[in-house]
């Protein structure tokens, strides 16, 4: 998910992720062109949908192609934000479109992955793999929605991801081709079906904390306006 990396005056500089730096380098020639950030968001969305469709086949070859497309989609996700920053073509609609694309691609990814595990690998489990994919995708949809709400309340800083050495939490998606190369789609799906709801529960707690922190401010404002 694209995001700002500007630091406030007097605060230490924020190290921008490596993929964001490369994305800015690649889109700089488009700064004064007819290409808009929404065009790049659409390209990211289409690549992500293609990745999800490839996963539904469930074979080794299709899964590896899907993982490559997903990694590419994750990289292209940075280009729209970088173009918006250097060209000044920012908009609320574009930001919401970016968030919706992030959520849609991730949900479809896990549903497609579940369908592929069920159809291609022929594994018999007590819970249908497609349902596991829907569970992981639904939990991630909740995470995206709550992060959007936290951003509305606390600003973009409230949804900033952890980063270290120029890498962010979401960069784990670049490891997905390694998962498919090792034929680990099914274990990855089961891990996501367990981990995504747990992480969603943590985001719910964080959301409630942000809301509670804002309530005293609202209350004091109401008292100050009372006659």
Q: 3: closest CA among 136, 147, 123?
A: 147
With tokens 């274990």, the residue in question is: 187
11 burial (CB, 10 Å; 0-12 / 13-18 / 19+) is exposed
H/E stretch holding 164 reads strand 163-164
Structural domains in the chain, CATH included, are: 18-225 (1.20.120.1760)
With tokens 């929404």, the residue in question is: 38
The strand pairing partners of 207, in sequence order, are none
**pLDDT at res. 179:** 92
Q: d(Cα 137, Cα 139) in Å, to the nearest integer?
A: 5
**pLDDT at res. 144:** 81
Q: Could you state, in chain order, the average pLDDT of each consecutive group of 10 residues for the chain (227 residues)?
A: 45 64 92 93 96 93 95 92 89 88 90 87 67 88 84 66 51 82 91 90 90 64 49
């Amino acid at each position: 998910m694209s995001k700002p990396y500007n630091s406030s005056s007097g605060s230490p500089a924020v190290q921008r992720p490596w993929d964001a730096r490369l994305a800015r380098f690649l889109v700089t020639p488009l700064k004064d062109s007819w290409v808009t950030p929404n065009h790049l968001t659409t390209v990211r969305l289409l690549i992500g949908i293609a990745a999800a469709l490839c996963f539904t086949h469930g074979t080794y070859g299709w899964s590896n192609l899907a993982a490559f497309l997903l990694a590419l989609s994750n990289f292209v996700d940075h280009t729209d934000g970088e173009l918006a920053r250097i060209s000044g073509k920012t908009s609320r609609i574009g930001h919401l479109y970016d968030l919706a694309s992030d959520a849609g691609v991730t949900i479809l990814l896990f549903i497609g992955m579940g369908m592929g595990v069920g159809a291609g690998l022929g594994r018999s489990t007590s819970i249908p793999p497609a349902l596991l994919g829907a569970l992981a995708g639904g939990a991630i949809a909740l995470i995206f929605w709550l992060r959007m709400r936290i951003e509305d309340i606390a600003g973009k800083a409230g949804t900033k991801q952890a980063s270290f050495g120029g890498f962010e939490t979401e960069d784990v998606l670049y490891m997905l081709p390694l998962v498919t190369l090792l034929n680990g789609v099914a274990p990855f799906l089961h891990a996501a079906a367990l981990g995504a709801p747990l992480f969603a529960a943590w985001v719910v707690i964080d959301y409630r904390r942000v809301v509670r922190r804002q309530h005293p401010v609202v209350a004091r404002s109401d008292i100050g306006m009372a006659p």
